[in-house]
Chain A
Amino acid sequence: MSPPLIELKAVTRTYAAGGAPLTMLREVSLTIASGEFVAIMGASGSGKSTLMNIIGCLDKPTSGSYAIRGIDIASLNGDALAALRRVTFGFIFQRYNLMFDLSAVENAEVPAIYRGMAKTRRETRASELLRELGLGDRLRHYPGQLSGGQQQRVSIARALMNGSPVILADEPTGALDSKGGKEVMAILKKLHGLGHTIILVTHDSDIAGYARRIIRIADGRITSDEPQQEGAADNPVEIRETTGDA
């Protein structure tokens, strides 16, 4: 049997910042297979974001092991981890985190720059992705000229730029209204249908309802890990060219 996509074993993460050590994760063990749609739920301070950061190779466990397709990330150097973040993982943040002085296309194509893709090819691919996400008429707009939902879609395009079989979404709808949130979740659902592995972090049970598996975390420990039927996610919203706000 081939090794699972993501395997965490007894992962602990303690921060030693400014005096009192802070333990965000305690002996977390977790396995995620390729093609899953997982939601990690917890209150603020439960360690869900820390868990996400470790999965996305933005943080290293203090103890325990984390293996991607059987390769222990502790054996990888900075450049190798950067490569994983570039090609394997696609990040979507709550606050979109776009560069304000770059247009939508320019924002989306940044990961491809780091990969060394040629300019015309980059632009073409970025434009295609943005069109598929309904932003075809806003390719040259700047983040300041886009609504929250539109910015989040640019962020999704950016995450998909280098393929990114694993999408990590940290509260992707947190800053959006309900309509915008539904549109984003519809996109994630569609991506899941196309074969991407989706790992979602949220405190909102409505959003978590889109996933097929819910992992609950509290005080740095996993309290439950259950599969879920397709419930809340059955009113897909079509992605179309929008003229107004998201």
Chain B
Amino acid sequence: MLTMLGIIIGVASVVALMAIGNGAKQDVVERIQAMGTDLLTIMRGPPAIRASANIVTSFLPEDLPFIRSVPGVAMAVPETTLSSLLRFADQDLMVAVVGTGEDFPQVHDWPPQTGVFFSAEHVKRYAQVVVIGQTAAKNLFPTGMNPLGQDVLIGSAPFLVIGILSSKGLTPRGDDMDNTVWLPYTTAGARVLGQRFFNVIVVRVKPDADMTAVETELHTLLMHRHRKEDFNIRNMADTIATANETQNTLTYLLVAIAVISLVVGGIGVMNIMLVSVTERTREIGIRMAIGARGFDVMFQFLTEAVMVCFIGGLAGVLVGLGGGYATSAIAGWRVIFTVSPIVIAFASAFLTGLVFGYLPARKAAQLDPEAYQTVSSKVEEGVERTREYAQHAVDATKDAARHATGTARDMYQSAALKAEDTLSTSKEYVRQNPVLVVVGALAFGARPSAAWL
């Protein structure tokens, strides 16, 4: 039934869209988690005000040992990033240059693929060494030459390549993490960045430590050292929570659209049922005549509406599941089906049937047997009258036919008599005037024949 189509589409949309939304959310969460969940990121600028970040210069190397000694902290590295030109022979590439500490690979679970990461010694000695990312390696050494041991130029300063980091892929925002090179922060500060202070300090928390407790401790420490809150500490969990919220909002938006579609479907059901009630006035009248109460009729129509929505809901769930799988197969999006949207969508369809079926059902029940009987009596009367008139018409036609036949017969008879008359008169005339007739005939070209005589 077409009425079911609205319900099916509504339910299918809810099921499929929520699954797609869940999948997308999970995708984002996992990408964020790939960045490391045990991290606290200390950024410049007080928590609420973003704009003042760049003026803060108080993130200094002297802070590092104190941060590292906070209980629960496994390691801490500074990270200051600048976009700069990387050159080797005739190749060049704009990369992100990151000045950081020797523990960077452990903090981010990002080990070198070949060679080594720089050490504490390198940091202490302001060594001019660099570790490059996969994209930088590919672009600067397209011939496949081993980058290790080569000197690359950052700006005008040469740096020895001692390692290539493994591939990490894209950030949730789409930036290429492998298009980066890493220097000891000391060297970077002196040679590339032109500043001693850091932009960011990344702290890795010990696995069994309480993130919140460590965060509080760090906060207290830095407040004491900086004497003001010119920093804010970001928890990876917060980032994930924010991302989740955003995704949830999107999903709810999609689902809201689907719900509207379900409501429209419900209105469609109600319309059809109202029309059906009107068309079935006669049936309702009969049922009331044989003893149905208002309640019985209402129950019947309500059941019908609910059945339509129940079956529509089932079909919608199946279509939604199918559609979701199809989307994931065709578009490659992740699709995660959970039980609650399916149950909710199905229950909504059921409720829609109840709610939108109630009004027509009530109308059906309130159809007065009187109303039916008035209509019915009039119909019966009309039919009877028509029959009577038809009978009259038949009789009249019979009469007319009889009459016509009689007249025709009369006319035929008189015509026949007249013809006979004329014939005998002619015969007489011929008998009486044979000569005249023969002459006349000859004059008109008739040929003589024996019959004349």
Contact = CB atoms under 8 A, between A and B. Distances in A.
Interface in B299-346: none
Contact of A53 (B286, B293, B294, B377): B377
A91 B289 contact: yes
A44 B381 contact: yes
Interface string B381-396: 1001100100000000
Interface of A: 15, 17, 24, 44-45, 49-50, 53, 56-60, 78-79, 82-83, 85-87, 91, 93-94, 97, 99, 110-111, 114-115, 158-159, 162, 170-171, 203
6 contacts: A49-B377, A53-B373, A78-B293, A82-B288, A85-B289, A110-B287
Interface in B1-54: none
Given A58-B289, A79-B295, 7 more contacts: A53-B377, A56-B289, A78-B293, A83-B291, A83-B293, A110-B287, A203-B384
B291 A49 contact: no
Contact of B373 (A59, A86, A115, A162): A59
B289 to A, nearest CB: 5
Of B283, B294, B381, the most chain A CB neighbours within 10 A belong to B381
Given A45-B381, A49-B380, A86 B290 contact: yes
Contacts of B369: 57-59
Nearest to B365: A78
A111 B294 contact: no
Contacts of B381: 44-45, 49
Interface string B366-406: 00011011100100110011001000000000000000000
Interface of B is mostly: helix
B292 interface: yes
Contacts of B287: 110, 114
B291 A79 contact: no
Nearest to A161: B290
A113 to B, nearest CB: 8
A85 B291 contact: yes
Contacts of B388: 44
Nearest to B286: A97
B296 interface: yes
Nearest to A45: B381
A85 B294 CA distance: 13
A110 B287 CA distance: 8
By CB atoms of chain A within 10 A, which of B288, B289, B372, B381 has the most?
B289
Contacts of B292: 82, 86, 114
Contacts, number: 78
A59 to B, nearest CB: 5
Given A91-B289, A110-B290, A58 B385 contact: no
Given A17-B374, A50-B377, A58-B372, A79 B293 contact: yes
Nearest to A91: B289
B373 A58 contact: yes
A90 to B, nearest CB: 8
Contacts of B370: 58-60
B286 to A, nearest CB: 5
Nearest to A50: B377
A52 to B, nearest CB: 9
B291 A162 contact: yes
A78 B290 contact: no
Given A58-B370, A58-B372, A59-B370, A86 B291 contact: yes
Nearest to A99: B283
A101 to B, nearest CB: 10
Contact of B288 (A24, A58, A171): A58
Interface centre among B290, B293, B296 (most CB of A within 10 A): B290
Nearest to B379: A95
A179 to B, nearest CB: 20
Interface string B266-287: 0000000000000000110011
A44 B291 CA distance: 27
B179 to A, nearest CB: 72
A170 B374 CA distance: 15
Nearest to B377: A49
Nearest to B372: A58
Nearest to B381: A44
Nearest to B385: A44
Contacts of B380: 44, 49, 94, 170-171
Contacts of A83: 291, 293
A145 B384 CA distance: 26
A199 to B, nearest CB: 14
Given A78-B294, A85-B288, A114-B293, A45 B385 contact: yes
Nearest to A17: B374
Nearest to A158: B290
A49 B378 CA distance: 9
A15 B374 CA distance: 8
B417 to A, nearest CB: 47
Nearest to A86: B291
